[in-house]
Every structure is written in C-alpha cells, then in structure tokens.
Structure 1
Amino acid sequence: MALHKLQVDDFYDDSYKLIAIHCRVEDYRLAYLLNKHLELKLERKDADIDFKYLESSYSIFEWDNETEYVMWNLISNVCKKEEDSLHSTGTLFNDTEKVLKTFHLIPEFKKVDYFIKISDEIQNVDENRILNKLKAIPQIITSYTVDPLKIRSKDHLIF
C-alpha cells in the first residue's frame, strides 16, 4: 500500500508584502500620516493582536480596499508593559518596584517599530512607489521591505 504525505506548507500562500518602519511616533499618529500621504483609510480595529502566553498585545489598523482587492494592515511591533519586579522575601522594606518589559511581535526585528502588511490578490501594488512615499514622510526614520519567507515567526502575522 502506498503512503501519501500531505504537507501543510503546500497550502500556505505568502501573497503579501511586508514593509518595516522605524518611527518613534504613536501608532494613531503614524496611521494618520499613512492615510494622508499614501491616500489610505486605515482604521483601528476593535481588538488588538493579543498573545496570552506572553501577556502582550499589539495595536493593529486595517483597511480593506475592495475596489483594488488589497488589504492594508499597520501592526505595532513593540509592546511595553509595566510589571512588578522580582525581589526576595523577608527584606526589611516591602517596597515593590515596577519594571518596564518590552515584547516584540516579530523578535527577529527588534529595532523595527511598525510593519505594514499588504495582502494583494492580484499583485498590483508597487512596493518601490510606496517606499518612496514613506521616505518622504519626515516623521519616519527609515522603511524597507522584508521577505516574509525569511521570518521564523511569520505565524504571528496571520490574523
């Protein structure tokens, strides 16, 4: 009897483009700037991307351009959370100190602040034109494309 194997990776389609953005402004401000300069209509989703096992959440803005069959997502890569620090018991003072912990959606790109994920079904989005427009925005330090196939934690970008 013949043994047939079915690979799950055969059905996974990487039909999206990923752009990394280095920018120190707040997420809502960046969404406004992208809407203005790229003529998008990004809106904040009701629910953030939430990872319970890390207890971190990442803001996400989305626009579904139905006329051009393109889904735009602006995703935060950084989550900063204040937690109680660990200290030994039985000390003279019972002061609890707070520690600021930083989590990343894509750990391979710890210096990236935001990602733009462009899911286009008919491959009509020009990445170079988008990058040129992004580099013209004064608040953005730099932006560049990222190959989704080279990211180990690309499952975090499925939502």
Structure 2
Amino acid sequence: MFCTFVAVSAIILNRFTLKYELDLDFVLVAITSSLKDYTLAFKINRQISHDFARMEDLSVPNASSGHSFFSRYFYQLPESETDLFLLANKGTEGYLIPEMKNVDYFILVRNFIDQEDLDHMLGGINRIPEVVVAAEVDPGKLKSKENLIF
C-alpha cells in the first residue's frame, strides 16, 4: 500500500503546465474601405510613396473547409528591415479576424517602426478619399490573433 501511495504522490508532484504565448511583435493597422485590394494598394503606393506588390495569398486553416485564402501585398521600407503586409480581412471562406468584420484590410508592420513614421503612414492612408478610417489596433486584444502569425 505504501508503494502505491508514493507513486501517486510522485505523479501529482510532477505535473507541469505549459503556457503558450504568441509573439505579437508587430504593429497592426485596421483599414475600412470599399476599394478592391489591388486598387487600395495602388492608392497607398501613390499617396505615401510605398511600393506594395502582390504576393502569394495567405493561407489560414479553418474548421469548415480546410483553408481560407486572403490576398496579401508586401513592401519593405528602404534602408531598414521593416516589413509591411497589406492583408484582406475577407477571404475565400470567411474573415481573417472574425471579431472585426467591419474592417476590410489590415496592414501588419513587422520589426521596428517609429511613431513618427507610423503617424505619417496613418495620415496618408486616411487622406485617401475612399478610405473611411485607418487606425492602429492592439493585436493582443484580438481573439484570432494567431491568424496574423505567418
């Protein structure tokens, strides 16, 4: 009886809890606009002198059909390692961030961007007549933030 108790006690004492945290080391900008993705990319390029180029669609696994695909554009700021991704929120099988269905696009900024550059980008995008609003969003508060890790 004593040996059984010791074994059970050892099992209880050796429990480990793994905590999983996503690395959200990026800035996220939400954009509401009725423009098509290629037209928005073109207008952003002209307005703030960026050069977003189309790349392979972002594939996100989903429960219903396997994968959803979202249009994606890429631009790297000159003389820095700051990457910008223009992502469509509406894809082939739903939303990239379902809790933000009123948002049409996101700009995900990886690596460092200073506040002055971010303000310049937001101001330029908000000056595009077809853009209703462009604003920074805290990715940590999103339920589906894992969809933004690629």
The sequence identity of aligned pairs, in percent, is 28
Do the aligned partners of 2:30 and 2:136 also contact (CA within 8 Å) in 1?
yes
Report which of the two structures shows the higher radius of gyration computed on alpha carbons: 2
Do the aligned partners of 1:49 and 1:60 also contact (CA within 8 Å) in 2?
no
The 1:57/1:36 distance shift into structure 2, 3 A limit, reads same
In 2, the alpha carbon distance for the partners of 1:4 and 1:52 equals 30
SS of the residue corresponding to residue 8 of structure 1 reads coil
The 1:66/1:51 distance shift into structure 2, 3 A limit, reads farther
From 71, 74, 91, the equivalent of 1:79 is 91
Is 1:124 aligned with 2:114? yes
Greater helix proportion: 2
Provide Cα deviations, 1:13-40, integer angstroms capped at 9, x if missing partner: 3221111101001100111111111211
In 2, the alpha carbon distance for the partners of 1:80 and 1:13 equals 26
In 2, the alpha carbon distance for the partners of 1:155 and 1:113 equals 18
Structure 1: gaps (5+ residues): 82-102
Following superposition, the deviation at residue 49 of structure 1 comes to 2.6
Following superposition, the deviation at residue 144 of structure 1 comes to 1.0
TM-score (normalizing by structure 2):
0.77
Following superposition, the deviation at residue 66 of structure 1 comes to 5.8
In 2, the alpha carbon distance for the partners of 1:58 and 1:141 equals 21
Do the aligned partners of 1:49 and 1:59 also contact (CA within 8 Å) in 2?
no
Cα RMSD over matched residues? 2.3
SS of the residue corresponding to residue 59 of structure 1 reads strand
SS of the residue corresponding to residue 57 of structure 1 reads strand
The 1:15/1:54 distance shift into structure 2, 3 A limit, reads same
SS of the residue corresponding to residue 46 of structure 1 reads strand
Structure 2: gaps (5+ residues): 1-12
Tell me the equivalent position of 1:64.
76
TM-score (normalizing by structure 1):
0.74
Tell me the equivalent position of 1:138.
129
Count the aligned residue pairs: 135
